Amino acid sequence: MKLSLKDRHTQIMIILAVVLIAVYFFYGGSESVTADVTEDDSQAEISFAVEEPSNEISDTNEIGEIEDGSTQS
């Protein structure tokens, strides 16, 4: 088969090829990459309050004093 630039089919093929090449260059020949979404964080909160004990036991061993001046342990 002899190709001629005057032939209609040859013209169509050439125009189509030029258009395809132009589109390829315009969009830069993109590549596909798969993104891995592999991790997720979530936060919870735990709370409480600590009060001072209401009646602490004293460590002091007090010595009582009797009015007559003697002592009682």
Residue ranges binding other proteins (CB under 8 A): 5-6, 8, 11, 14-15, 17-18, 21-22, 25-57
Contacts of 71 (CB under 8 A, 6+ apart): 63, 64, 65
Residue 42 half-sphere exposure, CB side, CA atoms within 13 Å? 1
Q: How far is the CB of 31 from other proteins (least distance, A)?
A: 6
For other proteins, the closer CB: 55 or 70: 55
Q: How far is the CB of 73 from other proteins (least distance, A)?
A: 24
Q: How far is the CB of 59 from other proteins (least distance, A)?
A: 13
d(CA 53, CA 43): 32
